[in-house]
Amino acid sequence: MDLIAIVTIFVLAVFVGFEVVSKVSSTLHTPLMSGANAIHGVILVGAIIVADHSETNLELGLSVAAIVLATINMVGGFVVTDRMLEMFKGKSGGRANQNSGDKK
Amino acid sequence: MNRTIYDLIGLSAGVMFILALKGLSHPRTARRGNILGAIGATVATVAVFFYASEGNELPLNNLGWILGAIAFGVLVGVPAARRVQMTAMPQLVALFNGVGGGAAALVAIVEYLKLGDSASTGVVIATVFTVLVGCVSFSGSIITFLKLQELMTTRPVVFPGGRFIIAATLLGTVASAVWVVLELGTTPLLILAALSLLFGVLFVLPVGGADVPIVISLLNAFTGLTVAAGGYVLDATLLIIAGTLVGASGTILTRLMAEAMGRSLFGTLFGAFTAKPQEAGAASETRPVKSGTPDDVAILLNYARRVVIVPGFGLAVAQAQHTVRELADLLTAKGVDVAYGIHPVAGRMPGHMNVLLAEANVPYEQLSEMDEVNPTFPQTDVALIIGANDVVNPAAKTTPGCPIYGMPILDVAQAGNVIFLKRSMRPGFAGIENELLFDPKTTLLFGDAKASLSKVVGALKAL
């Protein structure tokens, strides 16, 4: 892919990333960090690609290690985030009502 | 599957990641957002198995190894995430972040080994960047894990000449990075990886316990950027999108966290360069304090009209969230007005305490954020502080230059009586003395938070 297309994607993604989390209550900082953490586990895709290309045992060994680590990051990350958010179950409605009540 | 379809699937996964982050920013949609992110990641992972890049045949080479490694990763990751105590969650997130950074660095190293002379300078630079930052993120996250798990001291680790060693390591790391770019070779790369790992350790060591969550968030953003750079190397657009999103949102989140804790990001990060070895004020600990019995505490609580409970990490460690709810229910039944004052960073991370109390089914209406509860302290008869210290330490307001100066605190000193349930006189996570402990209106009840609370509940029932 040519460089300018990549730079375009990069810059736009930076702005989207800034924009989506700019207003978040401190209650959600930990789950949000954990969720974002799980998303970068998508490096798993990259690890699979290099494992596919591996020709020597060294390359394969390193790629397999990368796949294991990336899987732990991705799967573990989403599971642990879900466990955190499970705790908010049933209380989210109350929170929303309370907040809107405070403003009015 | 041809490239167009593969790229479109990648784009849809990218959109799901954006919606996931958006969802995670609001309490009502947070869980849905996380699940959407998981779906996006799964779709992206499955798609790569069906995409034959140019000159390659399906199925993928080394397919057995790939599937086996994924299965192994799932077998390690899922039970770890399922079984971890709620109290240990922050360090698990740190660990997951570290292995993600490690994975990105390994991917870049493998890719580097295969780079021929045909590789463009841009690709080489991106590869080197991924190795460098991935290694820093990996070793830095391991240190934050050790600090939070209290396998090592939570105080800043500062040694004589430390800042020169850190600066020298940083210079060495950058120099070796340039060397690797100019002269492709395995040896320079290994030196770069080793120096980057060392820098990650030195970078996090001087950070005090209270600032660790900010550093985890920052390293999380770092890992995001390495994934983006890795995406450039591998020509995988999705990795560029996902990595950049995490890098950008992680940076903003780091800033928001630092603000919530009243910390300057700069001071946290470059504390390493300015910090001097300092002796903790041990001399003051000989002053007398008023320590009480569970009965004294029960009587104070019984005749109060309003009680504000301030839970801290000590409550979490003792797993006392259920006992504290029992106490609160008992007081409510006796007609006492009970509220919980939750500091934004109570526990070890912003929002950590809310998660713990929600687990114990504490009614949401009783949980008050700091801004709501602070004006009510003058009308509060008893502030009951359970295993918290730094978040109620008046030094944050009165002592310029102390590590927590400027951090917003809960004004428990305004309440009629202050009760501390503490294990010992040991200072809090930030490692500083709390003057409030010596205040005449303060009563201390020493012991494990859960044991103390059970005794207070027993005494209250007997009244």
Quote the CA–CA distance of B199 and B276 in Å, as a whole number: 19
Cβ of residue B107 closer than 8 Å to a chain A Cβ: yes
Token pair recorded at residue A37: 């953490």
Preceding omega of B403 cis (within 30 degrees of 0):
no
Answer yes or no: is pLDDT of B396 > 90: no
Residues from chain B that touch A52, judged by Cβ atoms under 8 A, are 53, 56, 60-62, 66
Helix (H, G, I), strand (E, B) or coil at B403: coil
Domain assignment present for residue B418? The answer is yes
Q: Give the model's confidence band at B280: pLDDT under 50 very low, under 70 low, under 90 confident, else very high.
A: very low
**Averaged pLDDT for residues A2-17:** 91
Q: Give the model's confidence band at A49: pLDDT under 50 very low, under 70 low, under 90 confident, else very high.
A: very high
Q: What is the pLDDT of residue A91?
A: 44
Cβ of residue B1 closer than 8 Å to a chain A Cβ: no
Count how many domains chain B has.
Answer: 2
Helix (H, G, I), strand (E, B) or coil at B341: strand
Domain assignment present for residue B33? The answer is no
Q: Are B21 and A13 a contacting pair at CB < 8 A?
A: no
Query: Which residues of B are the active-site residues?
Result: 390
Identify the CA nearest to B213 among candidates B258, B169, B183, B249. B258
Q: What is the pLDDT of residue B275?
A: 46
User: Do B213 and B356 fall into the same domain?
Assistant: no
Quote the CA–CA distance of B280 and A61 in Å, as a whole number: 47
CB B250 within 8 A of CB A33: yes
Q: What is the pLDDT of residue A100?
A: 36
At B328, give phi and psi (nearest 5°). Answer: -65, -40
User: Do B120 and B223 fall into the same domain?
Assistant: yes
Q: Give the model's confidence band at A89: pLDDT under 50 very low, under 70 low, under 90 confident, else very high.
A: low
Domain assignment present for residue B122? The answer is yes
**B339 bridge partner residues:** B308
- Name B411's Cβ contacts closer than 8 Å, sequence gap at least 6: B374, B377
Of B248, B278, B308, the position where a domain reaches its end is B278
CB A44 within 8 A of CB B56: no
Q: Predicted ipTM?
A: 0.86
DSSP string, B3-62: HHHHHHHHHHHHHHHHHHHHHHTSTTTHHHHHHHHHHHHHHHHHHHHT---TT--SSPTT
Return the minimum-mean-pLDDT range out of B64-78, B233-247, B292-306, B420-434. B420-434
Mean pLDDT of chain B: 85
Give residue for tokens 């001097």. B276
Q: How far is B42 from chain A (nearest CA, A)?
A: 9
Answer yes or no: is pLDDT of A95 > 70: no
CB B137 within 8 A of CB B223: yes
CB B203 within 8 A of CB A20: no
Q: Give the model's confidence band at B281: pLDDT under 50 very low, under 70 low, under 90 confident, else very high.
A: very low
Identify the CA nearest to B278 among candidates B403, B131, B175, B381. B403
Of B235, B253, B278, the position where a domain reaches its end is B278
Domain assignment present for residue B30? The answer is no
Q: Give me the CATH number covering residue B368.
A: 3.40.50.1220
Answer yes or no: is pLDDT of A16 > 80: yes
Q: How far is B1 from chain A (nearest CA, A)?
A: 15
Give residue for tokens 């349930």. B421
Most confident segment among B136-140, B177-181, B443-447: B136-140
Q: Are A33 and B93 a contacting pair at CB < 8 A?
A: yes
Q: Are A43 and B227 a contacting pair at CB < 8 A?
A: yes
For chain B positions 290-349, those within 8 Å of chain A (CB to CB) are 344-345, 349
User: Do B307 and B174 fall into the same domain?
Assistant: no
**What percent of chain B shows pLDDT beyond 70?**
91
Give the end-to-end CA distance of chain B in Å, rounded to a whole number.
75
Q: How far is A43 from chain B (nearest CA, A)?
A: 6
Write the pLDDT tens digit of every residue in B35-45. Answer: 999 999 999 99
CB B219 within 8 A of CB B141: yes
User: Do B266 and B325 fall into the same domain?
Assistant: no
Q: How far is B312 from chain A (nearest CA, A)?
A: 15
Answer yes or no: is pLDDT of B435 > 60: yes
**What does the buried/exposed string (b/e) look like for B272-303 if buried means 16 or more CB atoms within 10 Å of the residue's CB?**
beebeeeeeeeeeeeeeeeebebebbbebbbe
Helix (H, G, I), strand (E, B) or coil at B266: helix
- Structure-model confidence comparison of residues B135 and B431, the more confident one: B135
User: Do B315 and B239 fall into the same domain?
Assistant: no
Residue type (1 letter), B42: T
Domain assignment present for residue B116? The answer is yes
**A15, A33, A98: best mutation site toward chain B, by most B Cβ within 10 Å?**
A33
**Averaged pLDDT for residues A70-91:** 84
Quote the CA–CA distance of B447 and B444 in Å, as a whole number: 10
For chain B positions 359-398, those within 8 Å of chain A (CB to CB) are 359, 364-365, 369
At B443, give phi and psi (nearest 5°). Answer: -115, 135
Q: Are A17 and B69 a contacting pair at CB < 8 A?
A: no
- Structure-model confidence comparison of residues B451 and B363, the more confident one: B451
Q: Give the model's confidence band at B278: pLDDT under 50 very low, under 70 low, under 90 confident, else very high.
A: very low
**Averaged pLDDT for residues B79-89:** 86
**Averaged pLDDT for residues B79-94:** 88
**Averaged pLDDT for residues B425-432:** 70
Quote the CA–CA distance of B124 and B188 in Å, as a whole number: 13
User: Do B321 and B412 fall into the same domain?
Assistant: yes
Q: Give the model's confidence band at A94: pLDDT under 50 very low, under 70 low, under 90 confident, else very high.
A: very low
Q: Give the model's confidence band at A96: pLDDT under 50 very low, under 70 low, under 90 confident, else very high.
A: very low
User: Do B440 and B310 fall into the same domain?
Assistant: yes
User: Do B186 and B247 fall into the same domain?
Assistant: yes
Of B213, B247, B278, the position where a domain reaches its end is B278
Quote the CA–CA distance of B267 and A50 in Å, as a whole number: 39
Give residue for tokens 């809310």. B354
For chain B positions 9-38, those within 8 Å of chain A (CB to CB) are 13, 17-18, 20-22, 24-28, 30-31, 33-35, 37-38
**B340 bridge partner residues:** B309, B367
**Averaged pLDDT for residues B353-382:** 84
Write the pLDDT tens digit of every residue in B11-61. Answer: 999 999 999 999 998 888 889 999 999 999 999 999 999 886 666 677 888
For chain B positions 262-281, those within 8 Å of chain A (CB to CB) are none
Q: What is the pLDDT of residue B93?
A: 92
Write the pLDDT tens digit of every residue in B399-408. Answer: 777 777 777 8
Alpha carbon B190 to chain centroid, angstroms: 30
Q: Are B223 and A42 a contacting pair at CB < 8 A?
A: no
Residues from chain A that touch B109, judged by Cβ atoms under 8 A, are 62
User: Do B160 and B231 fall into the same domain?
Assistant: yes
CB pairs under 8 A between A and B: 383
User: Do B309 and B406 fall into the same domain?
Assistant: yes
Identify the CA nearest to B249 among candidates A102, A21, A56. A21
Q: Are A82 and B34 a contacting pair at CB < 8 A?
A: yes
CB B76 within 8 A of CB A68: yes
Identify the CA nearest to B367 among candidates B329, B388, B340. B340
User: Do B259 and B126 fall into the same domain?
Assistant: yes
Full domain range(s) for residue B269: 88-278
User: Do B261 and B294 fall into the same domain?
Assistant: no
Domain assignment present for residue B23? The answer is no
Residue type (1 letter), B171: L
Q: What torsion do the CA atoms of B329, B333, B338, B339 make, to the nearest 10 degrees?
A: 50
State pTM to two decimals.
0.79
